[in-house]
Amino acid sequence: MVLGLIALGAAGVAVGAEVERAVDTVTAPLRERDPTGLTELIPGSGFEIYSVASSVPRRTAADYQLKVHGLVNRPVTLTLAELEAMPQTAMTRDFQCVTGWRVDDVHWSGVRLTDLLDRVQTRSTAKAVIFRSFDGLYDESLTIEQARRSDVLVALRMLDAPVSYNHGGPVRLYVAPMYGYKSIKWLGEIELVNEVAPGWWERRGYDVDAWIGKSNGRDDEPV
Amino acid sequence: MATGPREGEIRRFGTNTRWVHRATAFLFGVCIATAAVLYLPALSILFGRRALVMTVHLYSGLALPIPALLGWLLSQSPREDGEASRGRRRLGGSSGGFRRDAAELNRFGPADGHWLRDHLLTGPIRRFRRQTWASDAGGTTAGAVPAPGAPDVGQARIGGKFNAGQKLYAAGVAGSIAVFLGTGLLMWFGADLSVPDRYRTGATFVHDVFAYGIFFAICGHLWMASRDPFSRAGMRTGYVPTWWATAEHPHWDTETDQDTEMETETASPDQRTGEPSQ
């Protein structure tokens, strides 16, 4: 029995990835129509919800603010309405977590980060962008080249709805080509600085340049 | 059958077996609680502090096999028990209990096959046909009676202390701990050891599925315990009523079980009067 379980476990490790894919295929339609959240109990299906802070304040359109400052000519503090008034970009792209799970074909929309950087007029000395969460703890950063990519969004909507609290709403980042820990949730502050600083998980061992399939010792298919 | 320090009671579990049980239960509790926070979105968001919860989960998981290993190292082997019972029974410093209990749990005999068939296959079907538990437990049907090939005095002096369900549960827990350790280490060190992604994903999947399995198994374990106060007293105080032992574990060889001798060495009646006996 003991050895049998160990053998079962080893076999599971060998084929578990395929089994999980199969389970996910079956449960994906269920998940979309599940009002109870019970499908979240199924291993390997959908989003996991990670939070590093003990509690995260709930912000709404009434009190949400995004501060953009640092090495810029026109620092601003934007409300949710002001962000919604900017040109919106939509894309349908996967979300890949560095712990292995992936959610296919997520609908995202929001303001391109590069449009926001144009609006505040970054100075030539700005080499990197630091993002801080209003959870008070989480932060991470991108180089200015990475931040200027067209597949980096200040997301206002995901999964065909405003970004929910659990997913980092009302405003989060979505960095399509990088692992999920680069897509900071509960985005509260963007600061332009002269060099990249390791973020919260990066200080705990994850790669600062988090390209999907080319970092953290993983070979996932790029998004 | 040896009698306990109090009239009509018998020593079922020695000190180190009970501490192995307590420590393993505590660590499993911590693992399951932290796993729930890490895995269930509602709890993740409620509790947050992911790095702390991960660390607690990792170390409580790594510690899971330690109580059993310590219990094993600190107890005498059943063979030594036998020698002890023949001549040196009062010399041993350690109880000898956990190693003996582990050996008991690991010994599957023909009687266990009968027990399982009776309780898992034919038993439930009979109950479904509105036959009562009493006729089952009364020992008039197959399985409750010593089946042909069941351990008897001449054949084996070990194996009757636990029923087959308890043996399966123990083996399930031991095997699961090994699987949790293996898959957990793959998940934790997979990146450093350049383990291919598919095996890391597979390890995650196995870890998740086994977590469900052990969760429901432990629920069943607690449910069974909740229905038998004498069984609970056995694990809490070490003692069970003699009539209970006769009814539940008729083949338990209490003469060679070191735990039944322990009481004459270390526990005296007046030391234990404060303990509830149920």
User: In chain B, which residue's Cα lies nearest the Cα of A204?
Assistant: B51
pLDDT of residue A21: 79
Considering only CB atoms, B41 lies closest to which of A4, A12, A40, namely: A40
Res B87 pLDDT > 50: no
* Residue A118 φ/ψ, nearest 5 degrees: -60, -40
> If you count residue pairs, one on A and one on B, with CB atoms under 8 Å apart, how many are there?
124
Can you name the residues that pair with A65 across neighbouring β-strands? A79
Query: Residue B209 and residue A12: Cβ atoms within 8 Å?
Result: yes
Q: Are B16 and B75 in contact (CB under 8 A)?
A: yes
pLDDT confidence bin for B272, thresholds 50/70/90? very low
Query: Residue A217 and residue B192: Cβ atoms within 8 Å?
Result: yes
Output the CA–CA distances (angstroms, integers) from residue B56 to B30, B37, B212, in the order listed. Answer: 8, 11, 19
Partners of A8 on chain B (C-beta within 8 Å) are: 179
Domain boundaries, chain B: 9-108+159-272, 110-150
Q: Decide if A20 touches B, using CB distance below 8 A.
A: yes
Render pLDDT for B169-185 as a digit per residue (tens, 0 to 9). 999 999 999 999 999 99
Q: Which A residues in the span 163-182 are in contact with B, Cβ-Cβ below 8 Å?
A: 165-166
ipTM attached to this prediction: 0.83
Partners of B212 on chain A (C-beta within 8 Å) are: 43
Task: Identify the residue with better confidence: A19 or B206.
Answer: B206
A65-70 and A187-193: which strand pairing? Answer: parallel
Res B28 pLDDT > 90: yes
Q: Decide if B189 touches A, using CB distance below 8 A.
A: no
User: In chain A, which residue's Cα lies nearest the Cα of B169?
Assistant: A1
User: In chain A, which residue's Cα lies nearest the Cα of B189?
Assistant: A217
pLDDT of residue A214: 93
Residue type, A197: A
Q: Decide if A26 touches B, using CB distance below 8 A.
A: no
CA proximity to B96, closest of B68, B72, B70: B72
Q: Are A116 and A68 in contact (CB under 8 A)?
A: yes
Q: What is the DSSP track for A24-84?
A: HHHHHHHHHT-SSSGGGGSTT-S------SS------TTT-EEEEEESBSS-EEEEHHHHH
pLDDT of residue B5: 58
How many Å apart are CA A20 and CA B209, to the nearest integer? Answer: 10
Res B154 pLDDT > 70: no
How many Å apart are CA A147 and CA A139, to the nearest integer? Answer: 15
Q: Is domain B9-108+159-272 given the CATH code 1.20.950.20 in the classification?
A: yes
Fold of A62-223: Sulfite Oxidase; Chain A, domain 2 (3.90.420)
Query: Residue A15 and residue B201: Cβ atoms within 8 Å?
Result: no
Considering only CB atoms, B205 lies closest to which of A43, A48, A55, namely: A43
pLDDT of residue B265: 41
Partners of B206 on chain A (C-beta within 8 Å) are: 9, 12-13, 16
B10: closest CA of chain A, how far (Å): 30
Render pLDDT for A148-173 as a digit per residue (tens, 0 to 9). 999 999 999 999 999 999 999 999 99
pLDDT of residue B151: 44
Partners of A9 on chain B (C-beta within 8 Å) are: 175, 178-179, 182-183, 206, 210
Record the pTM: 0.80
Render pLDDT for B74-85 as a digit per residue (tens, 0 to 9). 887 655 544 444
Task: Identify the residue with better confidence: B158 or B71.
Answer: B71
Domain boundaries, chain A: 1-46, 62-223
A187: closest CA of chain B, how far (Å): 16
pLDDT of residue B156: 43
pLDDT of residue B93: 37
Output the CA–CA distances (angstroms, integers) from residue B117 to B121, B125, B156, B171, B221, in the order listed. Answer: 5, 11, 22, 18, 19
Q: Which residues of chain A have pLDDT under 50?
A: none
Q: Decide if B184 touches A, using CB distance below 8 A.
A: no
pLDDT of residue B66: 96
pLDDT of residue B79: 56
User: In chain A, which residue's Cα lies nearest the Cα of B213?
Assistant: A5
What number of CA atoms fall less than 13 Å from residue A195's CA on the CB side?
Answer: 2
SS3 at position A104: strand
Q: Decide if B91 touches A, using CB distance below 8 A.
A: no
Query: Residue B168 and residue A1: Cβ atoms within 8 Å?
Result: yes
pLDDT of residue B127: 65
Task: Identify the residue with better confidence: A35 or B16.
Answer: B16
A148: closest CA of chain B, how far (Å): 29
How many Å apart are CA A213 and CA B186, to the nearest integer? Answer: 19
Q: Decide if B190 touches A, using CB distance below 8 A.
A: yes
pLDDT of residue B145: 45
How many Å apart are CA B31 and CA B62, to the nearest integer? Answer: 10
